[in-house]
Structure 1
Amino acid sequence: MDFRGSVRPYVNFDAKHDADVLHKAMKGIGTDEDAILMLLAARSNVQRQQIKVAYKKAHGKDLVSALKSELGGLFESLIVALMTPSVSYDALQLHKALKGVGTDDEVLIEILASRTGEQIKEITKVYKKEFGGKLEKDICGDTSGHYQKLLVILLQANREEGVDEGKIEKDAKDLFEAGEAKFGTDEEKFITILGNRSPEHLRKVFDAYKKLSGLDIEDSVKGETTGNLENLLLAVVKCTRSVPGFFAERLYKSMRRAGTDDDTLMRIMVSRSEVDMLDIRASFKKTYGNSLYTTIQEDTDGDYQKALLYLCGGND
């Protein structure tokens, strides 16, 4: 499997040495932010966890607490995110999205539409362990209607495998009849087909749908649904077509508005840095004509910016 992340495991890794470098960077007056960010951005998440262990052993305190007491602002948030095991990071983002005042549906949609079945199963386990509640129960307490149903289906992480040739035409026809071809919309059909079929199968269904209706499935989703359900269905469709394409668009939108949506920017840069950042970068450049690197440069500053640029892994 070709590695598509921008951050790879550091080759001559020595956790104790790294722990000492970090300790030095935080000792005395002033903090060497550069040393901290250059080191941590060049280690994989698994290696950062080993540095934590080595740091506590050598210096008798928690590395994340030490970093928090030395850093501030967005840079601190980003470094703490990098120090969090990736599944715990997803679980924490979901917990924050559900536990505050109101629900951060953007986060629920982004994570549940884009993660693999395996990842979702892991997230559910870690969520229970770290927050004591069931993710499904918490989601059901905060959402309703067809939107809730589709979230619950995605949480089952039980998509069918492969392509069922015999079902492609029927699925396309069912989607057409559930939406464009009737007055009102049969949301159940959309939810069942988009929530349960494999991405390979759905891509063929979307092609058949286009032939049948003359429309892209996205246009029908927009025309037939509204609100959170529409946003979730669109995210599922976009992730089916291309997960990196989905994230490139999310990143673009997080920066190209009055004020940067740093939560989204940070979450995607951290969570995709070891997964598909190279593909996200390529998709960003192809779609928007600008490189992700220069867009981040224009929209952020300071150590926070430097760290994000490291995670970006270079300029296209």
Structure 2
Amino acid sequence: MYGYPPSGGAYPPPGGAYPPPGGAYPPPGGAYPPPGGAYPPQQGSQSKDTTSQQGSFSTPQGYPPQGYPPQGYPPQGYPPQGYPPQGYPPQGYPPQGYPPQGYPPQGYPPQGYPPQGYPPQGYPPQGYPPSQGSYPPPQQGSYPPQNYPPQGYPPQNVSQFNQPQTSLLTPAECDLAVKTLRDSMKGIGTNEKKLISVLGKYPPLQMNQIIKGYKSNYGKNLIDDVRSETSGNFGKLACALSMSIIEYDVKCLHDAIAGLGTDDDCLMEILVGRTNADINALRAEYKKTYKNDIENDVKGDTSGYVRRLYTVLLQGNRDETNNARDAVADAETLYRAGEGKIGTDEMAFISMLCNRPDAHLRQVFDIYQQKHGHTIEKAISKEFSGDIKKALTNLVSSIRNKAEYIATLFEKSMKGMGTDDDKLIRLVVRHRAPYVINPIKQAYLTKYGKPLAKRIKGDTSGDYCKLLLTCIQEAS
């Protein structure tokens, strides 16, 4: 007789199947149990039971056969004590109503998803991602955040930038801020502490409400009263904070191309990474304020390929779709336009860097470095010179890590002898929203080994310093 488990470690023993084909265990010559629940006679012989119902049979002699079931089956101790364990499955599992009705929803996933041809053939390239590091490379603070640029810009798209980090003020909150501003400038002298507590506290979206509330309550423009009550760099900063972001951006663009020379850092900071809606709003506001096309003014102040780069940025034709692009093919296009040929196709670089989405371009930069052994910045340095080299390098830096790029501009405004206060004021005013400035402060600390607030304290003083620090959410 067979034990359990058999000595060979397998059950059923050789020569038989358990259960046998058909899922039952009949003795030779019969089925067990037979259809209908009665036992058929062995070898076709049957004795009629005249007392049974019509069609039924009596149990045949010799059935079940001797020795069946075998001794030792089922084995002692099987199933084992305590199995299944008490409390299993646990009460209330699965929970009532799970899965919920209608889940998954009809039509999910949608037809045609993922789209054909995605991901593109050959992507990611062989050997990518590299064995060291992570892909995509982490960006400190996830900057720029979704729906960047700063909140409250442009005015007609204000709801798009109404992020959870900054909700609109209630009418009572707005009225209190407006009254505090008025009290700080009413009568003889100015209460700078009160003025700082409002101008430095509120990010652009809320400041837009306060500017409008001031005009509604007192019939005067906030910036006019602030200008009459302040002076010096403190006055410049206070006036800048009394403007909407789009008004301030347009002023900065105009100042960047007015007079001798061009402030390329300003143009790059304001134009790079903007949505098409932003660019169109900028063009319209510039025309309204200065009665001229910004494109014509920029063309009149620049030349060569730098002029072409700014012209492309000002068209507002960036690809903002979520369609998959072939990053490998774009990396190869940049190679063939530069290092892979004699001479350089400058417009191929300009067109791609100005019109592709930033996230896609970061993939292109990484693939280029993996395939050709050096960064895209080094390729630009080899293939370009002069102003266009600087412009493209800054463009790539801004795309690669916006927070770090702005952090370098902060350092540049305070480096060396003296302080470029116009640049410092612009950087603070344009990037003061908490969800924007916090990643910049972290990038500055990482890159330069000291807090941005400490750097500002060492280069500025007085109420000007206090207002700068309040804008970046630091104690003075």
Task: Give the structure-1-normalised TM-score.
Answer: 0.90
Other structure's SS at 1:185 match: coil
Cα displacement (A) at 1:11 = 5.2
Give the Cα separation in 2 of the matches to 1:85 and 1:300. 25
Mark the CA change 1:2 to 1:109 in structure 2 (over 3 Å): closer, same or farther.
Answer: closer
Mark the CA change 1:196 to 1:58 in structure 2 (over 3 Å): closer, same or farther.
Answer: closer
Contact kept? 1:25, 1:35, Cα under 8 Å: yes
Equivalent in 185, 189, 193 of residue 30 of structure 1: 189
Contact kept? 1:10, 1:44, Cα under 8 Å: no
Give the Cα separation in 1 of the matches to 2:360 and 2:322. 6
Mark the CA change 1:277 to 1:3 in structure 2 (over 3 Å): closer, same or farther.
Answer: farther
Counterpart position of 1:229: 388
Counterpart position of 2:448: 288
Give the Cα separation in 1 of the matches to 2:416 and 2:339. 33
Is 2:399 aligned against 1:240? yes
Other structure's SS at 1:14 match: helix
After superposition, the C-alpha distances for 1:60-102 in whole angstroms (9 at most, x for unaligned) are 5332222111111011111111111101111111111123233
Equivalent in 296, 299, 304 of residue 140 of structure 1: 299
Contact kept? 1:154, 1:195, Cα under 8 Å: yes
Counterpart position of 1:302: 462
Equivalent in 303, 328, 333 of residue 174 of structure 1: 333
Give the Cα separation in 2 of the matches to 1:55 and 1:180. 57
Cα displacement (A) at 1:258 = 1.5
Give the Cα separation in 1 of the matches to 2:180 and 2:361. 49
Contact kept? 2:223, 2:243, Cα under 8 Å: no
Cα displacement (A) at 1:169 = 2.2
Once the two structures are superposed, the pairs formed by residues 7-156 of structure 1 within 5 Å of their partners are 8=166, 13-156=172-315
Mark the CA change 1:220 to 1:290 in structure 2 (over 3 Å): closer, same or farther.
Answer: same
Cα displacement (A) at 1:57 = 4.6
Consecutive unaligned residues in structure 1, runs of 5 or more: none
Q: Give the superposed CA RMSD.
A: 2.5
Task: Give the structure-2-normalised TM-score.
Answer: 0.61
Is 2:466 aligned against 1:313? no
Contact kept? 2:295, 2:314, Cα under 8 Å: yes
After superposition, the C-alpha distances for 1:140-191 in whole angstroms (9 at most, x for unaligned) are 12212111111111112222234644x3222222222322334432212211
Mark the CA change 1:299 to 1:276 in structure 2 (over 3 Å): closer, same or farther.
Answer: same
Counterpart position of 1:265: 424
Is 2:365 aligned against 1:214? no
Contact kept? 1:9, 1:43, Cα under 8 Å: no
Cα displacement (A) at 1:9 = 5.4
Contact kept? 2:273, 2:358, Cα under 8 Å: no
Contact kept? 1:10, 1:43, Cα under 8 Å: no
Contact kept? 1:168, 1:201, Cα under 8 Å: yes
Contact kept? 2:211, 2:243, Cα under 8 Å: no
| Greater alpha carbon shift after TM alignment, 169-178 vs 241-250 | 169-178
Give the Cα separation in 2 of the matches to 1:301 and 1:242. 30
Amino acid at match of 1:240: I
Identity of aligned residues (%): 36
Give the Cα separation in 2 of the matches to 1:177 and 1:14. 58
Consecutive unaligned residues in structure 2, runs of 5 or more: 1-144, 152-164
Give the Cα separation in 1 of the matches to 2:426 and 2:471. 12
| Greater alpha carbon shift after TM alignment, 147-156 vs 167-176 | 167-176
Contact kept? 2:181, 2:195, Cα under 8 Å: yes
Give the Cα separation in 2 of the matches to 1:51 and 1:170. 49
Contact kept? 1:113, 1:232, Cα under 8 Å: no
Other structure's SS at 2:272 match: helix
